Amino acid sequence: MRVHAKRAGALLGASLVSSQAMADWTLNMAPGVTGTSNEIYGLHMTILWICVAIGIVVFGVMFWSIFAHRKSKGSKPAHFHENTVVEILWTIIPFVILVLMCIPATATLMDMYDSEESDIDIKVTGYQWKWKYDYINEEFGYFSNTTTPQDEIYNRVEKNEHYLREVDNPMVVPVDKKIRFLVTANDVIHSWWVPAFGVKKDAIPGFINETWTRIDEPGIYRGQCTELCGRLHGFMPVVVKAVPQDEYDAWVAEQVASAERERELTSKDWTLAELMERGEGVYNTNCAACHQANGEGMPPTFPALKGSRIAIEDMNAHLDVVVNGVSGSPMQAFGEQLSEADLAAVITYERNAWGNDTGEMVTPKEVFDYKNKE
């Protein structure tokens, strides 16, 4: 199998019902940009052709019978109903074909399982409904959220080219390096899949699964969660940006520096206006999916924050809900997921947006103290 073979007969009689600019009639798996994905593509094509060959023989005999041995054409039925030689043959031959098929499949599988001696380790954690990427050796990490606007999902505006396959912070990795992924989950089972890498691994709470990749070409590769994980399972994209090594190094340096700045934000003195500005962004990425951008929620499932007692009265209760979540409800504990600055900003935002004009603010330091007091 030629591994870089182009997509087989990708285009069928052009725009039969198509109106979508991006839509296409792809028929086959694409080879991908890693050794593993190319090997898988080779196996896929081999087994596909084996099936086609067997199909031609079996269906050939069958259609011959259907056309030639019709009663309406005066066919007289034969009476044979056994033939030991034939029966043994058609047991042995498929068996041998399958054994032959198992040999390359076993080799590929052993290769896929060999995640030793990696250059870079990234922990991938599935959350409902976003991914977190922790660069273990460089000690920074971040969430990767979908950025597809609700307006596109609900057909109020034209959908963009990367509809449902776009994120705020993609995973960034260098090309030609062995990257090991340590895959786990925080709540339910998810599955992290990038088709172009031939990498799919279930993210299971309480387990750390290993897998790896080595990317041949720089580019942006897209996939999504493939294990049903609740309401927004379909809205949990994976985007990986593969860049040359020097670009990667520069990116890492910047991430490390910004992680440091992030930590400094906790001790900085904040004004209400600054917190509000930051809070709006945090709210829209993390909270609006349930509580809605206008703060009105979707009662009864997702309460309104606009005018909510918790959001305009007791500050401690507000901190508690956001930091610790409400167990047994979809309201997660954001204390682990957001920085102190973001927590302070989003809480301050909720207390002052949409007419909740309490004028109150909470500083990142107060959030830090609250978290450590517990």
Give the residues lining the site for Cu ion (CB under 5 A): 190, 225, 229, 236
**Which residues between 74 and 93 bind other proteins (CB under 8 A)?**
75-83, 86-87, 90-91
131, containing H or E segment: strand 130-135
150 binds ligand HEC (CB under 6 A): no
302 binds ligand HEC (CB under 6 A): yes
User: Which is nearer to Cu ion, 130 or 278 (by Cβ)?
Assistant: 130
d(CA 352, CA 357): 4
18 binds other proteins (CB under 8 A): yes
200 binds other proteins (CB under 8 A): yes
Candidate ranges 75-83, 131-139, 149-157, 314-322; the one touching ligand HEC (CB under 6 A): 314-322
* Nearest partner of 102 among 38, 54, 52, 50, judged by Cα: 50
User: Which is nearer to other proteins, 25 or 307 (by Cβ)?
Assistant: 25
User: Angle at the Cα of 350 (from 343 to 131), degrees rounded to 5?
Assistant: 45
70 binds other proteins (CB under 8 A): yes
Residues whose CB falls within 8 Å of the CB of residue 81, separated by 6 or more in sequence, listed in order: none
58 binds ligand HEC (CB under 6 A): no
346 binds ligand HEC (CB under 6 A): yes
* Nearest partner of 344 among 358, 362, 370, 368, judged by Cα: 362
CB neighbourhood size of 133 (10 A): 21
d(CA 234, CA 190): 11
95, containing H or E segment: helix 84-112
318 binds ligand HEC (CB under 6 A): yes
User: Which is nearer to other proteins, 67 or 271 (by Cβ)?
Assistant: 67
Among 131, 133, 181, 334, binds ligand HEC (CB under 6 A): 334
CB of 293 to other proteins, least distance (A): 17
311 binds ligand HEC (CB under 6 A): yes
d(CA 61, CA 74): 19
User: Which is nearer to ligand HEC, 126 or 195 (by Cβ)?
Assistant: 126
d(CA 298, CA 290): 7
**Which residues between 110 and 169 bind other proteins (CB under 8 A)?**
110, 112-113, 128, 152-155, 159, 161-165
234 binds ligand HEC (CB under 6 A): no
Residues whose CB falls within 8 Å of the CB of residue 108, separated by 6 or more in sequence, listed in order: 36, 39, 40, 43
User: Which is nearer to Cu ion, 227 or 350 (by Cβ)?
Assistant: 227
276 binds ligand HEC (CB under 6 A): no
295 binds other proteins (CB under 8 A): no
CB of 187 to Cu ion, least distance (A): 9
265, containing H or E segment: helix 245-267
CB of 374 to ligand HEC, least distance (A): 17
Total residues contacting other proteins (rule CB under 8 A)?
104
Collapsed DSSP state (helix, strand, coil) of residue 325: coil
Collapsed DSSP state (helix, strand, coil) of residue 199: strand
CB of 353 to ligand HEC, least distance (A): 11
Collapsed DSSP state (helix, strand, coil) of residue 229: coil
* Nearest partner of 242 among 199, 286, 204, 210, judged by Cα: 199
In angstroms, how far is CA 225 from the centroid of its own chain? 4
User: Which is nearer to ligand HEC, 122 or 347 (by Cβ)?
Assistant: 347
Q: How many residues does the chain have?
A: 374
Q: Which residues make up the interface to ligand HEC (CB under 6 A)?
A: 286-287, 289-291, 302-303, 305, 308-311, 318, 321-322, 326, 329-331, 334, 346, 350
